[in-house]
């Protein structure tokens, strides 16, 4: 049976403005990405996920699109993009484009026309409601904070925005909207993209009746009526059917939930190929028992045509190296997590810079921040009387700039990113590509070796779990395919832990990955070092 290319693939997320600056203006671009394709090929990457590169005022750094058919000038030209696609494909690297179907920028010509008059032909392309007793139509809150409704003085109605007020939700109940967005997808498929990452895809529909959302015992709003609504799966199936008219395309969805019972509804069969498993990827603490429980739950919950995703960092969250290590044992923990991502059952997504150990940025002043989510959190904190220090702490916690700092190519002032100051500060000069390249013990070399092993052994990219268990904060599993068996042992403990290795492996087994020299004996137990990981062919 042929295995779809994406089931074998290792994906690499590129946050476009932060990856590589090719023209010296301090902002990453397609010329820069092209110059680093050989680096990605050497790393072993099979697919690139590009964050939005369309024309945008960038209130939300490109997730507010003002022209779906144009490349933003900061990132280059359409010719640059076409050359990038061609050069990536020459290296057998697929390209997945991030696409925002849920909302447009308030500067998009569609919305400008829609808000010109209640009688505008495009008025119904967005969601408009009359005031209720002089206030917003209901209590729905934006996911960035504050009301999800913005009043328009000219027409006397509110428009709906699930995120920033400059990100206006499209009305997917309108067939013209659906047709327009299908045309957008077709345009980029014709340009050669190999699929899409669909942003906040479970937000495409809201309740028809717009009731208030309930407030939970913590005093926080439960988003019951503004996402995951009746009919959403049918709409997603239509999108998938349209994209799959072109064979071999890959569809990954961002479903805004950490609830596995919600996430699993969106993939398999006629739906998305995979969704991002935030139930695993968003875990805040370095906790082997919790990680194991999510691996186990996914294995039990997913049907035969479903497969999870494996990631712990992205442009929307703290880098897992900072989140898990708290500044201690960073490299050891990073190596352990990389083994999990490359050997567990699922599709791995590396976030740019994780392969060299980039850590989070911390901002000491609000003027240095760019992210709308962090800035909104700061403003709301100040509004309720928080002091400056506390408001900055909240902004750092809620903001997403922390994981978007420039890729660190060398140890120069701006890490080789640009000849001028980049759009965000460099996170950490002590780790970079130039320093780690060629060092067999570096994190970068570790990633390269693991990706190579994942390709070499079908059990690691297509195998089932023969065993999946956890004891004393040690996760142990065996991946098996057609008689090939690979044992993986992960010690999440900061202590040495005894492990009965001889119960699973023998003296004829081959150690594929180990930070220290290991000899396996039948029936033998070993002492696992703190944060040690082992990959063994048995």
Q: Which residues are catalytic?
A: 199, 254
Q: Across 81-217, where does the E strand assignment appear?
A: 94-99, 103-105, 128-129, 149-152, 157-160, 167-169, 195-198
- CB-neighbour burial class of residue 404 (10 A; exposed 0-12, middle 13-18, buried 19+): buried
User: What is the helix (H) or strand (E) element at residue 325, kind and residue range?
Assistant: helix 320-325
The C-alpha atoms of residue 97 and residue 193 are separated, in whole angstroms, by 7
Answer for the pair 340, 490: CB distance below 8 angstroms, yes or no.
yes
Helices 175-190 and 232-243 sit at what angle, rounded to 10 degrees?
A: 30
At 67, is the secondary structure helix, strand, or coil?
Answer: strand
What distance in Å separates the CA atoms of residue 327 and residue 336, rounded to the nearest whole number? 15
For the record, the structure tokens of 438 come out as 């060629």
Which residues sit opposite 275 in a β-bridge?
A: 253
Residue 301 main-chain phi, psi, to 5 deg: -85, -35
- What is the spatial distance between Cα 194 and Cα 246, in angstroms, rounded to a whole number? 9
Reported in sequence order, the residue ranges of 100-200 that DSSP labels E, i.e. its strands, are 103-105, 128-129, 149-152, 157-160, 167-169, 195-198
Query: What is the distance, to the nearest Å, from the Cα of residue 477 to the centroid of all Cα atoms in its chain?
Result: 25
Three-class DSSP category at 357: coil
Q: What angle do CA 312, 318, 320 make, to 5 degrees?
A: 40
From the CA atom positions of the chain, what is the Rg in Å? 24
Burial of 315 (0-12, 13-18, 19+ CB in 10 A): buried
Joined together, the tokens standing for residue 231 give 């009919």
């Amino acid at each position: 049976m042929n295995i779809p290319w994406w089931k074998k693939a290792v994906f690499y997320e590129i946050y476009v403005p932060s990856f590589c600056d090719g023209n010296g203006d301090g902002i990453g671009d397609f010329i820069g990405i092209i110059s680093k394709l050989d680096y990605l090929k050497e790393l072993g990457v099979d697919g690139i996920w590009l964050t939005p590169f369309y024309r945008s005022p960038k209130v939300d750094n490109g997730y507010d699109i003002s022209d779906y058919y144009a490349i933003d000038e900061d990132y280059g030209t359409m010719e640059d993009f076409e050359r990038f696609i061609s050069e990536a494909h020459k290296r057998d690297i697929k390209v997945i484009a991030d696409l925002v179907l849920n909302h447009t920028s308030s500067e998009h010509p569609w919305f400008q026309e829609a808000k010109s008059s209640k009688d505008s032909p495009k008025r119904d392309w967005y969601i408009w409601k009359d005031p209720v007793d002089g206030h917003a139509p209901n209590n729905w809150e934006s996911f960035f904070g504050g009301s999800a409704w913005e009043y328009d003085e000219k027409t006397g109605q509110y428009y709906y925005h699930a995120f920033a007020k400059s990100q206006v939700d499209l009305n997917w109940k309108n067939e013209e909207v659906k047709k327009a967005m299908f045309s957008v997808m077709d345009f980029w498929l014709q340009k050669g993209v190999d699929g899409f990452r669909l942003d906040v895809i479970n937000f495409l529909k809201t309740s028809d009746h717009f009731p208030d959302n309930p407030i939970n015992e913590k005093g926080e709003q439960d988003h019951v009526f503004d996402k995951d609504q009746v009919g959403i799966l049918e709409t997603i199936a239509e999108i998938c059917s349209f994209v799959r008219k072109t064979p071999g395309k890959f569809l990954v969805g961002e479903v805004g939930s950490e609830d596995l019972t919600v996430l699993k509804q969106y993939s398999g069969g006629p739906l998305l190929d995979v969704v991002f498993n935030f139930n695993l990827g968003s875990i805040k603490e370095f906790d082997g028992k919790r990680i194991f429980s999510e691996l186990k739950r996914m294995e039990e919950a997913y049907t035969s045509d479903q497969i999870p995703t494996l990631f712990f960092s992205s442009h929307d969250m703290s880098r897992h190296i900072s989140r898990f290590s708290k500044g201690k044992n960073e490299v050891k923990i990073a190596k352990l997590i990389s083994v999990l991502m490359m050997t567990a059952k699922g599709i791995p997504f590396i976030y740019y810079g994780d392969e060299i150990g980039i850590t989070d940025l911390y901002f000491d002043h609000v003027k240095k921040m760019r992210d709308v989510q962090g800035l909104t959190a700061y403003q709301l904190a100040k509004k309720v009387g928080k002091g400056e220090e506390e408001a900055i702490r909240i902004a750092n916690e809620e903001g997403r700039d922390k994981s978007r700092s420039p890729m660190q190519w060398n140890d120069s002032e701006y890490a080789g990113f640009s000849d001028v100051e980049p759009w965000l500060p460099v996170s950490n000069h002590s780790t970079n590509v130039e320093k780690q390249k060629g060092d067999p013990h570096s994190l970068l070399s570790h990633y390269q070796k693991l990706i190579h092993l994942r390709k070499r052994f079908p059990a690691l990219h297509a195998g089932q779990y023969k065993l999946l268990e956890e004891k004393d904060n040690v996760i142990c599993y065996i991946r098996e395919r057609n008689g090939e068996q690979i044992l993986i042992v992960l010690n999440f403990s900061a202590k040495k832990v005894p492990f009965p290795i001889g119960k699973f492996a023998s003296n004829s087994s081959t150690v594929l990955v180990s930070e220290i020299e290991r000899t396996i004996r039948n029936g033998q137990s070993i002492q696992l070092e703190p944060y040690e990981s082992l990959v063994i062919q048995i």
